[in-house]
Amino acid sequence: MTSELDIFVGNTTLIDEDVYRLWLDGYSVSDAVALRVRSGILEQTGATAAVLQSDTMDHYRTFHMLERLLHAPPKLLHQLIFQIPPSRQALLIERYYAFDEAFVREVLGKKLSKGTKKDLDDISTKTGITLKSCRRQFDNFKRVFKVVEEMRGSLVDNIQQHFLLSDRLSRDYAAIVFFANNRFETGKKKLQYLSFGDFAFCAELMIQNWTLGAVGEAPTDPDSQVDDMDVDLDKEFLQDLKELKVLVADKDLLDLHKSLVCTTLRGKLTVFSEMEANFKNLSRGLVNVAAKLTHNKDVRDLFVDLVEKFVEPCRSDHWPLADVRLFLNQYSASVHSLDGFRHQALWDRYMGTLRGCLLRLYHD
C-alpha cells in the first residue's frame, strides 16, 4: 500500500505574538506555559503539555537571539539569519520598545543612571510589573537617550531613524529623553494625578517652542560646541524671560492688564468675581515662574510651580475648564494692548506654550 505525503519546507521564522508578549512581560518559560494552559490553548489545538512546553521554549530561544538585534533595530532589517517579513519586523520592534504607563511615570524626569536602576526592585513591587520587564523598559529608555542625546536636528526624527519606531512611539520617547535631560520633577504627590500623556503633551510643546531647535539657531560651524537642538532648553530665551517681570512689578501695567482682561470677560465667566479678586495673584504666579527659569532647580520644579501657582488656586475656586481656557486666551492676548510693554514676541513664545500646558494640567 502506497501513501502520498505532501511536504512543505520553509525557513520563515515563526513569531507567536502571544508568546512574545509573555516574554516581553518578563515571565519565565514555566510561568508562560502555565498562562498558556490557562488560556485554553491545549483544548483549542489538541496539543499535549509536553508539546506546549517545547513550543514555548523554542519561541523563547528565538526571542533571546533576536534581542541583540532589537537593541539596534536597523540590524534586524539587514541581517540574513532570521527570515522575518517586514510587517513582523515592525511588530517585533514596536512591541519591544513599548512601555507601561505605570512604569514610565515612576522614572520620568529621573536621571537614567545606575542609581535609578537600583530602584527598579521597588518600582516592580509598587507597579506589579515584573522586574525583568522593568529592566527591559529602563534599558530601552537609556539606550535611546544615549544614542540621540548628542545628535543635532529633530529629536523625533532622530529616534525614528535609529530605532524605526512609529511616529507616536517616537514622540513618546522624545518626551522621555527631554524630561530625563532637563530632570523635570514629576514624582511629587501633587503631581500624581497627571498621566504620562499629560507630561508628553507639554514636552512636545516645549520642544517645539522653547529649545534651540524651535528657532533654528543652528551654528554655521559644525565643530562649534553648542547645546543639542531639541534636547536642551534655549538658555538665552530663559534668561530673557526675566524681562517679563515688568508685567507685575509695574503697578500701572498690572492694573491695566487686569482692567483689559476683566472688561473683555465680564459676563462670560461663571467665576468672574473669583477671577477678578485673584487676578493679580494668578498673574504674579505665571510671570514669576518665567522669571525664575534661569536657575536649574526652578526649571526642574516647573510643573510643581504651575500646579501650585495656577492649577490649585483655580481648582479651589471651582473654575470649569471652559473658564480657564477663556481666561488664559484673554490674559495672553491682552498684553498686546499694553503700550508700555516691549517684549511681545518673548511673551508669545512663553505664554503660547504655557497656555497649552496649563490647559492640559488642569483637570476640573
Higher pLDDT, residue 126 or 4: 126
Q: What is the pLDDT of residue 221?
A: 45
Q: What is the pLDDT of residue 68?
A: 96
pLDDT surpassing 90 at residue 17: yes
Residues 81 and 108 in one domain: no
Pick the last residue of a domain from 85, 116, 135.
85
Banded pLDDT at 215 (limits 50, 70, 90): low
Domain total of the chain: 3
Residues 167 and 49 in one domain: no
Q: What is the pLDDT of residues 329-339, one digit of tens each?
A: 999 999 999 98
Residues 130 and 51 in one domain: no
Residues 144 and 245 in one domain: no
- Give the lowest-confidence range in 9-13, 184-188, 211-215, 345-349: 9-13
Structural domain including 185 reads: 101-210
pLDDT surpassing 90 at residue 214: no
In a domain, 4, yes or no: no
Banded pLDDT at 12 (limits 50, 70, 90): confident
3-state secondary structure the chain: CCCCCCCCCCCECCCCHHHHHHHHCCCCHHHHHHHHHHCCHHHHHCCCHHHHHHHHHHHHHHHHHHHHHHCCHHHHHHCCCCECCHHHHHHHHHHHHCCCHHHHHHHCCCCCCHHHHCCHHHHHHHHCCCHHHHHHHHHHHHHHHHHHCCCCCCHHHHHHHHHCCCHHHHHHHHHHHHHHHHCCCCCCHHHCCCCHHHHHHHHHHHHHHCEHHHHCCCCCCCCCCCCCCCCCECHHHHHHHHHHHHHHHCHHHHHHHHHHHHHHHCCCCCCHHHHHHHHHHHHHHHHHHHHCCCCHHHHHCHHHHHHHHHHHHHHHCCCCHHHHHHHHHHHHHHHHHCCCCCCHHHHHHHHHHHHHHHHHHCCC
Residues 162 and 265 in one domain: no
Q: What is the pLDDT of residue 137?
A: 98
Residues 195 and 117 in one domain: yes
Higher pLDDT, residue 80 or 241: 241
In a domain, 222, yes or no: no
Q: Is the pTM of this model over 0.85?
A: yes
